Amino acid sequence: MPLSPNESSSADAGGPSAASPTRVTHDTHDWTCPFCPLLCDDLTVSAQRDGTLAVSGHDCPRLAQALATYGASDATTPAIVDGQETSLDAALARAAAVLGAARRPLFGGLATDVAGARALYTLAAHCGATLDHLHGDALTPATLAFQDRGAFFTTLSEVRARADLIVFFACEPSQRYPRFFTRAFGGTSMAREFVFAGCAPDPGAAGLTHTQSETLLANADPFDTLAIWSALVNGRRPETFPADARAAANALAALQARIAAARYTVFVYEPATLPHPHAALLIEALNRIAKAANLTTRAGCLPLSGDDGALTVNQAVTWLSGLPLRLRVSAAASQTGGASLDYDPYRYRTETLLAANEADALLWVTSFAMHALPSTLKADVPAVVLGHPALAEAAKARGGATVFIPVATPGIDDTGHLFRVDSSVVMPLAAARGAALPSVHAVATQLLAKLAASADGEAS
């Protein structure tokens, strides 16, 4: 395969030897990292002849951990059926049989890119499947708040270029998104104020220049904080609060005055780390505070979420169906008289469906990392796993009722597209290594072809 303009090859300094063949590296410059929704695109990744991968220039523990899961055996990882290694064709045939026999299949995980999501949606429509993402619990509250009251989103570019006051609400971004502060604020000369509300200062912000950080109500209950804050935004005066809430009211009133004086305030939060199951109430309150600020100045929210393709799959399913996850979709409904789409963010939760025996087969898709099958999956429920090659042993250990098909990771062994954390930018992914593994899109398309052929055979 010819190299594209941002790719190059080189031999390392060790030189060839009988015991250690020349380690030719395949470098991809300006590579986009697919392992968190920041999608950093300023990296150079080197694929070694032994199948390992290394990144130079930047230090990200999450990326290093992800790259360590790839190795020499990935390209030769076999498909597995009922604990036995088998051919891809045999595994596809069994997987199609499992899905064809299921009356209430569940497509879970859904850790894939745009093309994978599109093919899985089409397959789901054929099977009458329910769709839920691995991070459905984080995705759902943001969707609910958006549906109920609307939202004020901003983008990484806006944050970087305009935000002079950043309020981090009950979160520590660098824990899950190690390069967040570098990508959003690094290398700029704008003076900024960081306020960590309901949390300790994030150590990841410590090295930034032109910024000053402070904390506010670090140990307060987030619901209490936002209840007081919302009342202040609606015109209540701090001195009218009960004595035990007055200090918090005064602190939040002072913050509200700073928001009014700021040029552009951004509220940063992480849906996954907000207290569940009522995180939607917090997200809604933050958006209403941002809305109030926009009456006199500018403000927006930046939710940090979308790991493992969650934003991408949600976007793709929404534009294909008109409804977001969690969703049951059935093209066959025209024959049965039922609804073709059923959106229910509560009922169609993976763990709940499996625990209640409401799914009789699971298609589990995890192409970015080795996410294990859900703990509520019972041993006798058949599972089809389209997964990271390193999941092969776990699939083999489950034994019966399990089909495993190793798939390519977009950005490692296949090209692809993912939505960035701010939902407004779709990033193309280059294949850093290119091991001969099928994509989720290719496997889902083949499964659909087998199911369609089987249906045609039964009809004739």
Judged by CB under 6 A, the stretch of 69-77, 104-112, 175-183, 197-205 that binds ligand SF4 is 175-183
Could you give the angle at the alpha carbon of 459 between the alpha carbons of 457 and 460, nearest 5°? 70
Judged by CB under 6 A, the stretch of 171-179, 341-349, 354-362, 405-413 that binds ligand SF4 is 171-179
Strands 264-269 and 426-429: unpaired
Judged by CB under 6 A, the stretch of 173-181, 189-197, 416-424, 429-437 that binds ligand SF4 is 173-181
Least Å from the CB of residue 34 to ligand SF4: 7
Least Å from the CB of residue 356 to ligand SF4: 35
Residue with Cβ nearer ligand SF4 (66 or 285): 66
Least Å from the CB of residue 134 to ligand SF4: 16
Least Å from the CB of residue 54 to ligand SF4: 13
Tell me if 179 contacts ligand SF4 by CB under 6 A. Answer: yes
Q: What contacts 447, CB < 8 A, 6 or more positions away? A: 92, 95, 96, 99, 123
Residues in region 257-286 near ligand SF4 by CB under 6 A: none
Least Å from the CB of residue 303 to ligand SF4: 16
Tell me if 362 contacts ligand SF4 by CB under 6 A. Answer: no
Interface residue with ligand SF4, options 23, 62, 149, 246 (CB under 6 A): 62
Residue with Cβ nearer ligand SF4 (21 or 203): 203
Least Å from the CB of residue 112 to ligand SF4: 17
Residue with Cβ nearer ligand SF4 (130 or 305): 305
- Inter-residue contact 109 to 366 (CB < 8 Å): yes
Tell me if 417 contacts ligand SF4 by CB under 6 A. Answer: no
Interface residue with ligand SF4, options 116, 136, 178, 324 (CB under 6 A): 178
Residues in region 190-229 near ligand SF4 by CB under 6 A: none
Tell me if 177 contacts ligand SF4 by CB under 6 A. Answer: yes
| Cα–Cα dist 86/103, whole Å | 26
Tell me if 419 contacts ligand SF4 by CB under 6 A. Answer: no
Task: Write the binding mask 373 to 392 for ligand SF4: x where contact by CB under 6 A, - elsewhere.
Answer: --------------------
Least Å from the CB of residue 282 to ligand SF4: 24
Least Å from the CB of residue 306 to ligand SF4: 11
Least Å from the CB of residue 421 to ligand SF4: 9
Least Å from the CB of residue 270 to ligand SF4: 14
Q: Is 51 exposed, middle or buried (0-12, 13-18, 19+ CB in 10 A)?
A: middle
Residues in region 1-60 near ligand SF4 by CB under 6 A: 33, 35-36, 38-40, 60
Q: Binding residues for ligand SF4, per CB under 6 A? A: 33, 35-36, 38-40, 60, 62-63, 177-179
